[in-house]
Structure 1
Amino acid sequence: MELDELYREAILDHARHPRNFGALEECNRSAAAKNVSCGDAIQLFLRLSPAGRIEVVRFSGSGCAISTASASLLTLAVQGKTAQEAEALFEKIQRLLTGTSAPQDELPGDLAVLAGVRRFPQRVGCAMLSWHALEDALRTGEKNSV
């Protein structure tokens, strides 16, 4: 199986069977993000511990396969991380998708599958949508449109 095919399968799996999908009623941080160019919308819910560790993360919303898969992958990647670790991961993903660097080997779990998205610049906003919501939730908890 070629690497592109493997990436495609992982994206489709997370899009069809998103992990941690659904609202989190007992959250203490949340943020919404909307991609105005395509209509994708994500709401991200976090429960941070008093020490700033992400205890629970969930998402809801609707969007294309890439935005849904990226949100699903995000929830798996940041669960248990500190807010600072999650913000550092946001920076790595942003660099990966914008092509300013390719830290694929530095990414936990299946996040490297998002690298294929950078070949389609019009889809980078879809992949970054939930990550922008994460950044907002960690910094302010306010709603955001991208």
Structure 2
Amino acid sequence: MAGLSELYQNVILEHNRSPRNYRVLENANREAEGNNPLCGDQLTVWLRMEDDVIQEATFQGSGCAISKASASLMTGAVKGKSRRQAEELFDRFHRLVTGRLEPSEPETLGKLAVFSGVSAFPIRVKCASLSWHALKAALDQPGKIVSTEQP
């Protein structure tokens, strides 16, 4: 199992060093900001949607390795997905990082399964899920600011 943990760690570190889709999306028609005051993570997620399908997804901001890697992998995972498919992916990912996913379900998450170990560190759940909550806000209430902490 150590080999798998090392692989997961390497994927997270690679996406932190060289995040995919890390830029402002000039022609976005959806956007939301995310803030995790406990860790200092702050990011914005931009979407370009056509006919209820995410054509493009990008993000930009600063944060810990888990937060940035999660946003990087998320933006790639939701491209080409319908709003409903993206919401279902959000739900599965959230259950993964909170330890509530069924044993067979990580297979349905592809590379996102690298975050399975996050559930053992509750404070890191907020880091891993911040970009996902911003994605959900961009889908539901464009322009909204989401926070991992309630005011």
TM-score class, shorter-chain normalisation, is over 0.9
Number of corresponding residues: 144
Q: CA deviation at 1:134?
A: 0.4
Q: Deviations over 1:56-102 (max 9, x none)?
A: 10000000000000000001100110111000000001111111124
Partner of 1:33: 34
Q: TM-score, normalised by structure 2?
A: 0.92
Residue 105 (str. 1) matches residue 103 (str. 2)? no
Structure 1 consecutive aligned stretches of length 4 or more whose deviation exceeds 2 Å: none
Does structure 1 retain, via aligned residues, the 8 Å contact 2:35–2:145? no
Structure 1, unaligned runs of 5 or more: none
Amino acid at match of 1:31: A
Match of 1:85 in 2: 85
Q: Which runs of 5+ in 2 are unaligned?
A: none
| Matches for 1:1-146 after TM superposition, within 5 Å | 2-49=3-50, 51-102=51-102, 103-107=105-109, 109-141=110-142, 142-146=144-148
% of aligned pairs identical?
49
**Root mean square deviation, CA, Å:** 1.0
User: Residue 143 of structure 1: CA displacement?
Assistant: 1.7
1:144 and 1:122 map into 2 onto residues whose CA distance is 17
**Superposed displacement of residue 119, structure 1:** 1.6
Q: Give the superposition deviation at 1:105.
A: 1.0
Give TM-score scaled by structure 1 length.
Answer: 0.95
